[in-house]
Homo-oligomer: A and B are copies of this chain.
Amino acid sequence: MLNSPLPRDPIAEAREQWVSHGWASEADAMAAITAVMRTASIYLQRADAILKPHGLTFARFEVLALLGFSKRGSLPMSRASELLQVHATSLTNSVDRLEATGLVQRIAHPTDGRTRLLELNPQGLEVLNAAREDLNKMLFAQSNLAPKDATELFEILSRFRRASCDFL
């Protein structure tokens, strides 16, 4: 999608339409929510572009990053999907690909036959470190968010997520 910037913010325009059609009380939330979706899509595209040379997507990067932080070095899939807050099937999908490229391993749980433990392979750790460095340099350090905005944004969304029972 080639970005020749639009002369006018289409979300601001939609907001005005909302107001002029009599839904003024919902207009701000509509605009905020639509902007959140658009912003997520921009960041996701940028992240995926940065990760592509590493053979990763953002979804798979998140799995590696989570495993990299786990004390034991392994994590049940159920726990991982809970922490990443994605459906179990999405994780199955990601892990299938990570396993196919040898970055991750599914191993049996010692006592519970239902559970699969995820383990980072040495190669997975290398890819994770390289990918994270790129992501830090090229995405997070250049987020186009003023430091104050980044903080405020996180706080607003934390209030939202708590209100939505995303966490206690």
Nearest CB on B from A77, distance (A):
14
The winner among A1, A33, A153 for most chain B CB atoms within 10 A is A33
User: Are the C-beta atoms of B141 and A26 separated by less than 8 Å?
Assistant: yes
- Number of this chain's copies in the assembly equals 2
**A-B contacts besides A26-B136, A37-B43, 19 pairs, CB < 8 Å:** A5-B165, A5-B168, A6-B166, A6-B167, A7-B168, A9-B162, A10-B85, A25-B141, A33-B43, A35-B157, A35-B158, A35-B161, A36-B36, A38-B85, A39-B157, A144-B163, A145-B156, A145-B159, A149-B160
Distance of A157 from chain B, by nearest CB (Å): 4
Chain A 1-41, CB within 8 Å of chain B: the 1/0 string?
10101111111111001000001011011111101111111
- Residues of chain B within 8 A of A37, CB atoms compared: 40, 43-44, 58
